Amino acid sequence: MRIDGKLLDLAREVPEGTTPEPVTIDSDDGLSILRHSAAHVLAQAVQKTNPDARLGIGPPIQDGFYYDFDLEEKFSPEDFKGLQQEMQRIIKSGQRFVRRVVTEEQAREELADEPYKLELIGLKGPNAEKAAEGASVEVGAGELTIYDNVDPKSGDTVWKDLCQGPHLPNTRMIANGFSLMRVAGAYWRGKTDRPQLQRIYGTAWPTKDELRAYITRLEEAAKRDHRKLGRELDLFSFPEEVGSGLSLWHPKGAVTRGEMEQHARKRHIERGYTYVYTPHITKSDLFETSGHLQTYGEGIWPPILMDEERDDEGNITKRGAEYYLKPMNCPMHILIYKDRARSYRELPLRFAENGTVYRNEFSGALHGLTRVRGFTQDDAHLFVRPDQIEEEVTNVLGFVIDLLKDFGLTEFRLELSKRDDEKEKWIGDEGVWTTATDALRRVAQSSGLEFVEEEGEAAFYGPKIDLKITDAIGRSWQLSTVQLDFNLPERFGLEYTAADGSKQRPIMIHRALFGSIERFFAILLEHYAGAFPVWLAPVQAVGIPVAQDFAGYLEDVAAKLRMRGVRIEVDHSDERMQKKIRNHTMQKVPFQIIAGATDVEAGSVSFRYRDGRQDNGIPVDEAIERIVEAIETKAHV
């Protein structure tokens, strides 16, 4: 149940004067509670079958859960059958999850054999999530609690865990909609100098049918994995010689990326944006002023010492300066604004840049193009007057949605991210944050889109609206972000001259449309399973002669298409025609143009599409218009 916005176990007492709201198991909160309870059952099963296993952390995650274990014996997928049987036995026994408030001393005494739990005890409040990702499910703000798994027949506690809860009333509610998925390594508290634990991932759903549907989605997702498609379609690579999380774009991938960037650039200019360019590296002073070094230090690459001078004996005669690869573009855009005096008549001022940034991601977190160390943001920063905020954010949101529709995305929803309760996680004045959050809320409400509010998910300098999309197989992705920022203009002393001649502070709007171009490319690649719409396809058409004698005829057709801006190749290889058709079908080329003696005589071609359909005897001029129209209308054939 939920009381005054807080999730509580059903067994908790309802305070007088309050009205509990039901939380159903198929809601987002209900699914998290189901999965967190399943994680406890997994941990209990592991310790039943492996008494020497020591417990790490076991939070719910998107579509599932995990639990970390310290055990000398290595888990393998072959162990999952036995673990799942033990989990099913625990589930069928109907053990009750019983919450118990304890002191730190009691917790340390009861969990004396769990060294990782002992580390977490006392890390309450703002230190909880710092302890490790997911640690807030164990220790958070407020009371320290242990959850006992109680046998319903004997009343005995058969297992316990340090946990904030809440949980299901009993294990039977987990039913049979769960499965263990995989095992991986995970450093304790995410630090490479700490022990590496074994992380078992699982999933849990209200019913067996929903579990089967999820497994089917995973199988489809594996076929669409952008890393696999990137290799098969020769789009990009990650050579060891370059380094982890740094991508090389091959010609075909670069073509599609270029089309994405050029289309977005054209639309931005139409909307009154001006493009700027900034360097990849800057002195530390800039990020000290912005606050990034203080609040985002772990995500920034180590500094490079420059301009230091020494004498012949090695003594420093001139102190150097520390330079950083930029993790953000915004401080440099601020300096462009600040370079000269600004008038209220210039606002809103909209700077855009495809700026490459660098983040110091852990190697274990890297994942193809979706999580990299060097990536390009389609970044924009807008400087507005206070009276322009809502209108400009509304325009930005409408622009974002229109542009994403150009790429074939149609399902959108919003998430309003608010500041954390802990002051050290954000900067600025509380009243300013409230004003900014209220403005974003009104914009979200007026958009007509579904939206939710999330506590503690804002950037350190201001609240934000995140736009999420649903792809072709039902997965949710976060893309565009619109963030209000009253704080960086204050830190950098930004001003404009108002109509009355006074100096006023502008408000800054941070806005990324794709998020990162690399990640957006990966999402589109998986959304379309590699079969891009014609306008984005690296090769839009390929000519396939029935015999080599007809290759010259197709070259003439290709020349006409190139004059219309079509990316076309003619296959002159020695392969048989059917093999050529198969090869280019595997490469997901939208149009295959086939010509033989009959076509040459009639001045026509035959079309073969990616799905195997074929249209024969199409006059050349009509064929050209058909392809050009598909490109111009952004059709998917």
> Which ranges of 448-550 would DSSP assign to H, the alpha helix?
487-491, 517-527
Supply the residues annotated as catalytic: 330, 359, 377, 379, 381, 464, 510
What is the token pair recorded at 541?
Answer: 């058409």
Contacts 24+ apart (CB under 8 A), 599-604: 599/550, 599/553, 600/550, 600/553
* Extended beta strands in 106-189, E state: 144-150, 157-162, 178-187
One-letter identity of residue 70: D
- Rg of the chain over Cα atoms, rounded to whole angstroms, equals 29
Question: Is residue 29 a contact partner of residue 23, using CB atoms and an 8 Å limit?
Answer: yes
Residue 195 burial by Cβ neighbours in a 10 Å radius (0-12, 13-18, 19+): middle
Q: Are strands 144-150 and 451-454 parallel, antiparallel or unpaired?
A: unpaired
Written as six digits, the tokens of 321 are: 């300066």
Q: What are the contacts of 155-159 at 24+ separation with CB within 8 A?
A: 157/98, 158/44, 158/95, 159/40, 159/43, 159/44, 159/47, 159/95
Q: In whole angstroms, give the CA distance from residue 620 to residue 12.
A: 75
Q: Nearest CA to 408 among 525, 519, 516?
A: 525
Q: How far apart (Å, rounded) are the C-alpha atoms in residues 617 and 637?
A: 19
Q: Which of 378, 355, 366, 363 is nearest to 281 (CA)?
A: 355
CB 569 within 8 A of CB 539: yes
Amino acid letter, 216: T
